[in-house]
Structure 1
C-alpha cells in the first residue's frame, strides 16, 4: 500500500507549519539577547586586550630606545674624574717631568681599572705562543732562546670586551732558526 501524503525531507508533512508557543518564542528571544550581550562583552574584552598589548609594545619600544641612548652613562660618568685629572695636568705651567709622568701613570691605572670594571681586558701576550684568534703577527724576528711562533714583542696591545675580541694585539713573533 502506498501512502499518498507527501512529506518534506524533514519528515513533516508539506504545508504544515511548526507553530512555536509564545513561551518558546520568548525563551528563544531571551537566548538570542543573551548571546548578543555575551558577544558584545567579548568584543569589548578583545579590544581592551588589543589596546593593552599595543600600549605595552609602545612602552617597551620607548624603554629600549632610552636604554640605547643612555647605555654608556655609567661608563662615561666613571670616566669624568680621569678627564678632570688630564685637564688639571695639562693646565700646570712648567713643572717636573717626573711629576707629570707619575700623574699620567696614575691616570692610566685609573682608566684601566674603570675599563676592567666594565668588562674590558688587555691582551698582552709576551712570551706566549701566537694565537691567531687574539693576535695579529706583523713581523717575524730573530729571538735566540725563544721557541718559533712565540710572541717576542707587543707593538700594540689588544683588547677583549666581555670575552669577545675587540681588537687583536699586534705582535712580533720569533721565527725559526
Structure 2
C-alpha cells in the first residue's frame, strides 16, 4: 500500500472514530437531557404540590379569619347591649320598693304619692332607655324560662299551669330575661 492509501485509511478510521465519539456524545447528551427532564419533572411535582397545599392553607386561614371577625363583631354587639346588665339588675329592687311605696301611701297623702309616682316614672323611663321592659305574667301559660313558680293553687275554671298572680314583677333586657317573675301557678 502506498502512503496515500495508508493515510486515507487512517483518515477514514479517524473520521469513523470521531463520528462514533460524536454519536456517543450526542447519545450521552440525549440521555442526560432526558434524565434532567425526568428529574425536573420529579422536582416540579413536589413544588406544585407544595404550592397547592399553601393555597389550601391560605383559603382555610382566610375562612377562619372571616369567622373570627364575624364572631367578634357579634360578641361586641352583645357586650354593648348587656354591659349594663348587672347595674340594671341591681336597680330593680329599688323600682319594686317604689311600687310598694305607692301602694302603701294612702289617698290622704296625695303630695307624697305624686312625688313617688314621679320618681317611679323617671326610673321606668331610664330603664326603658337601656332596653329594660317589664313582663306581664298574669293569665299567661307558665314558662320556666320566664317565670319562677313560688306557689301553686287550685283554681276553678282555669287550666293547669297558668299564672294566677304575679308576686314580683319580672323584667326583660332586649328580649332576654333580666329577672324572672315570681308567680303563683294554677294546678
TM-score normalised by length of structure 2? 0.42
Q: Which has the higher helix share?
A: 2
Q: Which has the larger radius of gyration?
A: 2
